[in-house]
């Protein structure tokens, strides 16, 4: 029996569900029950009836699923799959900003550790950040950890005073405007679609800016036949599946989140079989990190 069939059989037997982010390897997306962006997967994690969730993504994603579902078993195929940006916050700075401004909301991108979330008033993802920040009662917003997404949100919501942090995604931040210009010159009929974790110069050149699922929806609805992709290469799986008649071009050879690729079919089978790599979040930490996540789900409705 193939590893894929073994997983599917075991999953059925244990009544487990597999969640996968768009950045994991194609063969992992292929066996997942639900594939999506960070926001979709957080919402979905809360709606599931199954008792076992195998989370194919990086640690902050599994952690969020466990915080939202403390009674479920959340299994991580590889515990070391992490997001570099999730740690890029100096907690002292949050305290300083809170002392400096009496009307400030600390808005925390979901790409952050559970500990960092406990310092936040609300979480956001790239799919809902603009909407949530716009609707906050506070004039001042301290946006952590992603400086690029924070700057994009600030531009979209000029009525707010958005204080930026210096965190960034090493993969998105590294794509340069020069590389995009070269790709555009090579593919003059292509539209450029980009994730807001990229630098401003890139966003200024884009035909569409949005989360992974935003990009996928935009491409599906657009009449254009060619696209230059300003995000991680894993989105190609869904883009090609939904649009077999369209062409996709990456900008450089490094649009790869290696941590996402730690997730393999063999590791999924092993954790499902042995029920190892169970994600645990301390009860006190969970209670404090749940508040901004719940507020996000509420405000995003």
Task: Tell me which residues touch ligand SF4 (CB under 6 A).
Answer: 58, 83-85, 111, 169, 171-172, 197, 232, 257, 259-260
Closest CA to 206 of 148, 256, 284, 291: 148
* Smallest separation (angstroms) from ligand SF4 to the CB of 42: 14
Q: Which does 271 bind (CB under 5 to 8 A by kind): ligand SF4, ligand 13P, none?
A: none
Q: Dihedral through CA 70, CA 73, CA 78, CA 82, nearest 10?
A: -10
Among candidate residues 174, 181, 153, 175, the one with its CA nearest the CA of residue 165 = 153
Distances 108 to 45, 182, 237, 239 between C-alpha atoms, Å = 19, 34, 29, 29
Q: Return residues touching ligand 13P (CB under 6 A).
A: 37-39, 111, 125-127, 169, 195, 197, 211-212
Q: Which does 212 bind (CB under 5 to 8 A by kind): ligand 13P, ligand SF4, none?
A: ligand 13P
CB nearer to ligand SF4: give 80 or 135.
80
Provide, rounded to whole angstroms, the least separation between the CB of residue 256 and ligand 13P.
Answer: 12
Q: Which is nearer to ligand SF4, 68 or 257 (CB)?
A: 257
Of 58 and 180, which has the nearer Cβ to ligand 13P? 58
Long-range contacts (CB closer than 8 Å, 24 or more residues apart) made by 41-48: 41/65, 42/68, 42/110, 42/125, 42/293, 42/296, 42/297, 43/297, 44/19, 45/19, 45/69, 46/297, 48/17, 48/72
Find all residues with CB under 8 Å of 40, minimum gap 6, and list them.
34, 127, 213
As measured in angstroms, the least distance from the Cβ of 116 to ligand SF4 is 14
Q: Tell me which of ligand 13P, ligand SF4, none is bound by residue 74, counting a contact when its beta carbon lies within the kind-specific cut-off of 5 to 8 angstroms.
A: none
- Work out how close the CB of 203 gets to ligand SF4 at its nearest, in angstroms, rounded to a whole number: 16
Nearer to ligand SF4 by C-beta: 232 or 238?
232
Q: Residue 138 binds which entry of ligand SF4, ligand 13P, none, with Cβ cut-offs from 5 to 8 Å by kind?
A: none
**Which of the choices ligand 13P, ligand SF4, none does residue 84 contact, using the CB cut-off of 5 to 8 A by kind?**
ligand SF4
Nearest residue to 226 (alpha-carbon basis) of 198, 257, 263, 188: 188
* Min CB(187)–ligand 13P separation in Å: 23
Cβ proximity of 264 and 91 under 8 Å: no
């Amino acid at each position: 029996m193939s590893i894929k069939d073994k997983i599917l059989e075991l999953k059925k037997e244990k009544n487990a569900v597999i969640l996968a982010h768009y950045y994991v390897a194609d063969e992992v997306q292929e066996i997942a029950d639900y594939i999506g962006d960070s926001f979709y997967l957080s919402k979905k994690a809360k709606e599931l009836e199954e008792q076992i969730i195998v989370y194919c993504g990086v640690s902050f994603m599994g952690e969020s699923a466990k915080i939202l579902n403390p009674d479920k078993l959340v299994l991580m195929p590889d515990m070391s799959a992490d997001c570099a940006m999730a740690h890029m916050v100096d907690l002292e700075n949050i305290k300083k900003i809170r002392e400096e401004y009496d009307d400030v909301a600390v808005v925390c991108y979901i790409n952050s550790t559970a500990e960092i979330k406990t310092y936040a008033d609300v979480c956001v993802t790239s799919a809902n950040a603009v909407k949530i920040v716009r609707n906050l009662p506070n004039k001042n917003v301290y946006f952590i950890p992603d400086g690029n997404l924070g700057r994009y949100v600030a531009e979209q919501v000029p009525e707010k005073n958005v204080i930026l942090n210096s965190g960034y995604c090493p993969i998105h931040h590294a794509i340069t405007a020069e590389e995009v210009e070269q790709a555009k010159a090579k593919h003059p009929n292509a539209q450029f679609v980009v994730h807001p974790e990229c630098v401003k110069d890139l966003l200024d050149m884009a035909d569409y800016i949005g989360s992974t699922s935003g990009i996928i929806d935009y491409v599906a609805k657009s009449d254009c036949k060619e696209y230059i992709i300003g995000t991680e290469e894993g989105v190609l799986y869904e883009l090609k599946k939904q649009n077999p008649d369209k062409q996709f071009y990456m900008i450089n050879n490094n649009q790869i989140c290696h941590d996402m690729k730690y997730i393999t079919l063999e590791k999924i089978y092993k954790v499902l079989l042995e029920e190892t790599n169970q994600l645990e979040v301390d009860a006190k930490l969970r209670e404090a990190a749940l508040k901004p996540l719940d507020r996000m789900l509420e405000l995003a409705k």
